[in-house]
Chains A and B, each alone.
Chain A
Amino acid sequence: MSHANNRLTQGGLIDRQQTINFSFNDKPYTGVAGDTLASALMANGVDLIGRSFKLHRPRGIMSAGVEECSAYVQVGNGARHTTNVSATQIEIYEGLNSRSIHCWPSVEHDVGAMVGAFSRLLPSGFYYKTFMWPAKFWNIYEHAIRGSAGLGKAPEVEDADTYEYRYDHFDLVIVGSGPAGLMAARQAAPSGARILLVEQDFKFGGSLLADTAKIDGQTPLQWVEQSLTELQQFANVTLLPRTTLTGYYDGNFLTALERVTDHLAENVRRRGIARERLWKIRAKQVILATGSIERPLVFGNNDRPGVMLASGARSYINRFGVKPGQKAVLFTNNDTAYQSAIELQQKGVTVAAIVDVRQAPPKALRQQASNHNIPLISGSVVHNVLGKKRVTAVEVAGLSAQNTLTSEQQQIQCDLVIQSGGWTPTVHLFSQAGGKLLYDEAQLCLRPDPASIPQELQSVGACNGHFSLTDALREGAEAAHQALLEAGFQSTQANWPEADESSSCIPQALWRVPVRKQGTKRFVDLHNDVSSSDVELANREGYRSVEHLKRYTATGMGPDQGRTSNINALAILAEEQNSTIPAVGTTRFRPPYTPLSFGAVAGRQVGEFFQVRRKTSLYETHQQAGAVFEPAGLWLRPDYYPLAGENREQAVLRECRAVRQGVGIFDGSSLGKLDIQGPDSLKLLNMLYANGWNTLKPGACRYGVMLKEDGFIFDDGVTACLGENHYHMTTTTGNAETVYSWVEEWLQCEWSDWDVYVTPVTTQWAAVSIAGPNARELLQQVGTDIDLSTEAFAHMQFREGTVAEIPARVFRISFTGEHSYEINVPSSYAPALWNALIKAGANLGIQPFGLEAIHRLRAEKGYIAVGLETDGTVTPFDLGMSWAVGKKKADFLGKRALSLPELTRSGRRQLVGLLTDEPAYVIPEGAQIRLESAGQTRSQGHVSSSYMSATLGRSMAMALLENGLERLGEKVTLHIDGKTVTAQVTKPLFYDEDGGLLNA
């Protein structure tokens, strides 16, 4: 296949001998080493890169860098698929495959383009306005909208690559390797300070890569080479290319994304090497040398392929050795772009005209244009671009003093429009760091306010609003000198070389070029298809704040973050309000500067490393028993233990029956455990729990409810008195850490003079529960030196001894309602204990039971589960647990709040049982109990726990119901997925009401 060849025969930072094959929209092309995807496509004469976001207009290449707002593509496929990346930032590699986005069936023949014809019907806020009503049709609209809008295609399979973090500390971080950054690095290197220089490009040099001005008598490239050679001698200097400083946070904490393998052919990317590395850096001093971005002008059809920034064109011709067109027109309002036009002309692009907004451009420039035979049309504007998929001509007219078009007009044939509306300092990182911007009236830009330097940082060169090469070199050297002194290093006097360029950037403001024909689109933000009329409309509709404008029109959003559009949008908004840019203000820049992949953010924390998984010392034992595990907080706990052919429900019902009829064994090791010692232990328990502890004797256990100071239940559990001033507290699994920090907080912050120590011992002790009518028999059979008679060891007692010859703490407590022992042994003994119990229990019908079974068993007994029956708004009284509140106690956490009006009012939701009229039906947990009165429906309660009970042979539920305790026997109605369910309100207790089994 033959392609147009726009490659120059010589010049540029490319290696013409090293060809690279790639594809775009399934067509094969060839580029060379040193190319970006954009330069390679341009060399092949590909003008049309994609379609625009909303209007599906044809779009080409607008720039040569990070500011690209037009040429977005997707790269790779399958497990290596990245979407919404700008072609100007993709370094090509052998086998690269890339595609357009936003177009169907192809970029040349895009069905969505007909939207463009109706663009008047798609103003800002169109979706909000049109698809608001009727609400129930939204899901129909949404389907169509999502299909036609959106950015690229999301990957459909798991990412094949790995990602990683790296943490580091530096004395000085320099961001950007243009003249200012390189100069700063050279000044700082000899000091021995640890220095990091990051550059987002794959080549160091920044603007110098496309520049021609002399530094110290050298070409810019020679000076860059010399600088790099010098810097590489220093072991204390790290040079990091392909790395974008994406975030600037408090305390000089920086994140930088290093693209490690994206530029390599897929077959040479080595397994185990991360695709991207996210650096997390703490810097003593930072120098921002991030340069500036050329600003486009806002004129008719300024989005046509072939319209680009002058700096971009200069980069293609000088750095990439590619002609961006054959015949160009420069449209400018300032001096800086003249050099680009002249260099294009020198490299063989005919420059048909320079159209300058200014009536009288400086004489030197007029002379230069004339020397190069370039016609200069001053006091004029390009007001319209002709051509659809490529520029074919521009319409030029004179500009009156009132900024209207004069009758003086002409059409100029061309296929390239290069433009410059001035320069915008790249202040994103300064702003992220907390710095304020000030508006520079002369240079028409926002630059860092020197009076508001937020952190240990300095902005130098163009990003500081000082655009000349000389200024960049001087500020770079001076800032490095200053930074070294601040960081405690020696630094010699700042030195910098002379440069023979000192261009000024004083543009003439023209924020909107007038149009001849009403309705001609003048784009402000190409990336989001926002035109000047959208900004005007937003302002008319009252979206007058910058923040509202941004959200209503999407200006400045998306991958390019408005790098080229922000100032123009602000200026137009200011003009519409007869105000000024400083008065309308600016939006603050937020991280990241350029998009971060989800992979980089996740790092290694994917798959099994996504979250910590805690396992009890019985995990393998459960696995061998065929347990199905369930995450409970961070723990993996057995949910049930199916036998061959059993489903979950069958297994759970069998486990429940085993506990009620024989004996079950349960791993409760994850229960939180705190060891409390010291003379003030009792005082502490009395404050932490709502109930009283004074009468708890060594060898006894007591259940307690813990409240927050707001009176609501926070946790519950059993505490045993191990001896004088020594207690063993248990918490729920999920709250183990929370309760410990809660206790510590009170002890450190409020009761620091109390003599008591709390130690978390959750993982020191494994807890194996045996429960059921045969539990005592089982303990006897497995062998223990503890007297198990009821007289010697009653319910809610604790004994120390041996079980199966293992030293153990045995608690006679129960969460199932059955006769039950919780045997605590040092964790490493747990498998031995478990296996001994299973063996000894074989003839007693022993069965392991899991989380689901224990939940059903405790619900039969009406025992609450923190997090189900409580949700942070439930008091002990709501749960009918006034017995667990020590009303005579002088004080405890939460006591005072229990008498606040809200907590004592009538109509609070109270815990009840529910029995459905249809016994086989299990109400879903969370179902609302409806109250219908006077044509209104509202919730009067909700179901907190609901199960099929093996014991009852029917379903049962617990619910929180308004005034529930007074409503026993009443019928309530629930509507669940179109089904009406009626249920009877009962006491929340379905089994062994008098607790005879527990005490037997």
Chain B
Amino acid sequence: MLLINCPFCGAREEHEFHYGGQAHITRPADPEQVDDKAWADYLYYRKNTLGLQAERWQHSFGCGQWFNALRCSQTHQFKAVYKMGDDAPEGLS
């Protein structure tokens, strides 16, 4: 079970969290200008990264806050957590 460092509360057990999938997916500003394929990509297509990936988590049974994390999909290790809206820290692998 993962030990996740909530940026607001500190390290907490995985079962307090809710996984929110790939991070940094922005909703198109004007959906009507987006073609069907692009909209389907936004709705359904996600990366399946082997290695470091940016993902969203919510501390749902804690402070309720969403945040971003960089985690390795191979070792499950968290390399960084950062606030929603911030860019992923660089230089990590």
Chain A, residues 756-772, CB within 8 Å of chain B (1/0): the string is 00000000000000000
| Residue pair A250, B2 in contact (C-beta under 8 Å) | yes
Is B17 among interface residues, defined by CB-CB distance under 8 A? no
CA A250 to CA B72, docked complex, whole Å: 12
Is B80 among interface residues, defined by CB-CB distance under 8 A? no
| Closest residue on chain B to residue A710 by CB atoms | B43
Is B36 among interface residues, defined by CB-CB distance under 8 A? yes
Return chain B residues, CB-CB under 8 Å to A709.
Answer: 27, 42-43
Count, chain A residues at interface, CB 8 A:
23
| Closest residue on chain A to residue B18 by CB atoms | A741
Q: Which of A744, A749, A750, A895 has the most CB of B within 10 A?
A: A749
Is A454 among interface residues, defined by CB-CB distance under 8 A? yes
Return chain A residues, CB-CB under 8 Å to B60.
Answer: 741
| Closest residue on chain B to residue A890 by CB atoms | B32
CA A891 to CA B30, docked complex, whole Å: 8
| Residue pair B40, A896 in contact (C-beta under 8 Å) | no
| Closest residue on chain A to residue B39 by CB atoms | A896
Return chain B residues, CB-CB under 8 Å to A454.
Answer: 75
CA A506 to CA B34, docked complex, whole Å: 68
Is B52 among interface residues, defined by CB-CB distance under 8 A? no
Is A752 among interface residues, defined by CB-CB distance under 8 A? yes
CA A999 to CA B66, docked complex, whole Å: 44
Is A202 among interface residues, defined by CB-CB distance under 8 A? no
| Closest residue on chain B to residue A744 by CB atoms | B64
Is B91 among interface residues, defined by CB-CB distance under 8 A? no
Return chain A residues, CB-CB under 8 Å to B42.
Answer: 709
CA A710 to CA B85, docked complex, whole Å: 24
| Nearest CB on A from B77, distance (A) | 8
Is B3 among interface residues, defined by CB-CB distance under 8 A? yes
| Closest residue on chain B to residue A750 by CB atoms | B27
Is B50 among interface residues, defined by CB-CB distance under 8 A? no
With A250-B76, A741-B58, A891-B31 as contacts: A748 and B84 at CB distance below 8 Å:
yes
| Residue pair A896, B34 in contact (C-beta under 8 Å) | yes
| Nearest CB on A from B65, distance (A) | 7
CA A99 to CA B36, docked complex, whole Å: 67
Is A375 among interface residues, defined by CB-CB distance under 8 A? no
Q: Give residues 66-85 of B contacting A (CB, 8 Å).
A: 66, 75-76, 84-85
CA A603 to CA B32, docked complex, whole Å: 53
| Closest residue on chain A to residue B76 by CB atoms | A250
| Residue pair B1, A250 in contact (C-beta under 8 Å) | yes
| Nearest CB on B from A890, distance (A) | 8
Kindly identify which residue among A251, A253, A745, A897 contacts B58, using a CB–CB cutoff of 8 Å: A745
| Residue pair A748, B3 in contact (C-beta under 8 Å) | no
| Nearest CB on B from A266, distance (A) | 35
With A251-B2, A253-B3, A900-B40 as contacts: A748 and B75 at CB distance below 8 Å:
no
Return chain A residues, CB-CB under 8 Å to B32.
Answer: 890-891, 895-896
CA A474 to CA B2, docked complex, whole Å: 32
Is A807 among interface residues, defined by CB-CB distance under 8 A? no
| Nearest CB on A from B76, distance (A) | 5
| Closest residue on chain A to residue B66 by CB atoms | A748
Kindly identify which residue among B14, B36, B43 contacts A901, using a CB–CB cutoff of 8 Å: B36
Q: Give residues 345-361 of A contacting B (CB, 8 Å).
A: none
Q: Which of A251, A710, A891, A895 has the most CB of B within 10 A?
A: A251
CA A502 to CA B32, docked complex, whole Å: 77
With A250-B76, A710-B43, A900-B39 as contacts: A745 and B66 at CB distance below 8 Å:
yes
Is A249 among interface residues, defined by CB-CB distance under 8 A? yes
With A741-B58, A744-B64, A745-B20 as contacts: A897 and B85 at CB distance below 8 Å:
no
| Residue pair A900, B36 in contact (C-beta under 8 Å) | yes
| Residue pair B56, A749 in contact (C-beta under 8 Å) | yes
Return chain B residues, CB-CB under 8 Å to A900.
Answer: 36, 39-40
Is A12 among interface residues, defined by CB-CB distance under 8 A? no
Return chain A residues, CB-CB under 8 Å to B76.
Answer: 250-251, 434
| Closest residue on chain B to residue A454 by CB atoms | B75
CA A149 to CA B92, docked complex, whole Å: 54
Chain B, residues 24-42, CB within 8 Å of chain A (1/0): the string is 0011001110101001101
Kindly identify which residue among B2, B3, B14, B39 contacts A897, using a CB–CB cutoff of 8 Å: B39
| Closest residue on chain B to residue A748 by CB atoms | B66
CA A249 to CA B39, docked complex, whole Å: 38
| Residue pair A748, B65 in contact (C-beta under 8 Å) | yes
| Nearest CB on A from B55, distance (A) | 12
Is A447 among interface residues, defined by CB-CB distance under 8 A? no
Is A282 among interface residues, defined by CB-CB distance under 8 A? yes
| Residue pair A749, B43 in contact (C-beta under 8 Å) | no
With A251-B1, A253-B3 as contacts: A897 and B43 at CB distance below 8 Å:
yes
CA A249 to CA B65, docked complex, whole Å: 26
CA A752 to CA B20, docked complex, whole Å: 17
| Closest residue on chain A to residue B74 by CB atoms | A434
Return chain A residues, CB-CB under 8 Å to B66.
Answer: 744-745, 748-749
CA A198 to CA B23, docked complex, whole Å: 41
CA A219 to CA B40, docked complex, whole Å: 73
Chain A, residues 242-286, CB within 8 Å of chain B (1/0): the string is 000000011101000000000000000000000000000010000
CA A249 to CA B15, docked complex, whole Å: 13
| Closest residue on chain A to residue B34 by CB atoms | A896
| Residue pair B43, A253 in contact (C-beta under 8 Å) | no
| Closest residue on chain A to residue B60 by CB atoms | A741
Return chain B residues, CB-CB under 8 Å to A748.
Answer: 65-66, 84
Return chain B residues, CB-CB under 8 Å to A710.
Answer: 43
Chain A, residues 886-904, CB within 8 Å of chain B (1/0): the string is 0000110001110011000
| Nearest CB on A from B81, distance (A) | 14
| Closest residue on chain B to residue A891 by CB atoms | B31
CA A249 to CA B2, docked complex, whole Å: 8
With A709-B43, A745-B58 as contacts: A896 and B31 at CB distance below 8 Å:
yes
CA A897 to CA B76, docked complex, whole Å: 34
Kindly identify which residue among A253, A744, A752 contacts B1, using a CB–CB cutoff of 8 Å: A253
| Nearest CB on A from B70, distance (A) | 16
Return chain B residues, CB-CB under 8 Å to A752.
Answer: 84-85
CA A787 to CA B56, docked complex, whole Å: 51
CA A710 to CA B39, docked complex, whole Å: 9
CA A251 to CA B20, docked complex, whole Å: 20
| Nearest CB on B from A886, distance (A) | 14
CA A745 to CA B3, docked complex, whole Å: 22
Chain B, residues 3-27, CB within 8 Å of chain A (1/0): the string is 1000000000010001010000011
| Nearest CB on A from B9, distance (A) | 15
CA A745 to CA B34, docked complex, whole Å: 23
Return chain A residues, CB-CB under 8 Å to B1.
Answer: 249-251, 253
CA A471 to CA B3, docked complex, whole Å: 34
| Nearest CB on A from B89, distance (A) | 18
Q: Give residues 213-232 of A contacting B (CB, 8 Å).
A: none
| Residue pair A749, B31 in contact (C-beta under 8 Å) | no
Kindly identify which residue among A251, A749, A750, A896 contacts B3, using a CB–CB cutoff of 8 Å: A251
| Closest residue on chain B to residue A167 by CB atoms | B13
Kindly identify which residue among B3, B14, B31, B40 contacts A895, using a CB–CB cutoff of 8 Å: B31
Chain A, residues 717-753, CB within 8 Å of chain B (1/0): the string is 0000000000000000000000001001100111010
CA A673 to CA B13, docked complex, whole Å: 29
Q: Give residues 886-926 of A contacting B (CB, 8 Å).
A: 890-891, 895-897, 900-901
Chain A, residues 436-460, CB within 8 Å of chain B (1/0): the string is 0000000000000000001000000
Interface of A with B (CB < 8 Å)? Answer: 249-251, 253, 282, 434, 454, 709-710, 741, 744-745, 748-750, 752, 890-891, 895-897, 900-901
| Extra inter-chain contacts (14) besides given A710-B43, A750-B26, A900-B36, CB under 8 Å | A250-B2, A251-B1, A434-B75, A709-B43, A741-B60, A744-B64, A745-B20, A748-B66, A749-B20, A749-B56, A749-B66, A752-B85, A897-B39, A900-B40
* 24 A-B pairs whose Cβ atoms sit less than 8 Å apart in the complex: A250-B1, A250-B2, A250-B76, A251-B1, A253-B1, A282-B3, A434-B75, A741-B18, A741-B60, A744-B64, A744-B66, A745-B66, A749-B56, A749-B84, A750-B26, A750-B27, A752-B85, A891-B30, A891-B31, A895-B32, A896-B34, A896-B39, A900-B36, A900-B40
Smallest CB-CB A-B distances: 8 pairs:
A896-B31, A251-B3, A253-B1, A748-B66, A250-B76, A250-B2, A249-B1, A251-B2
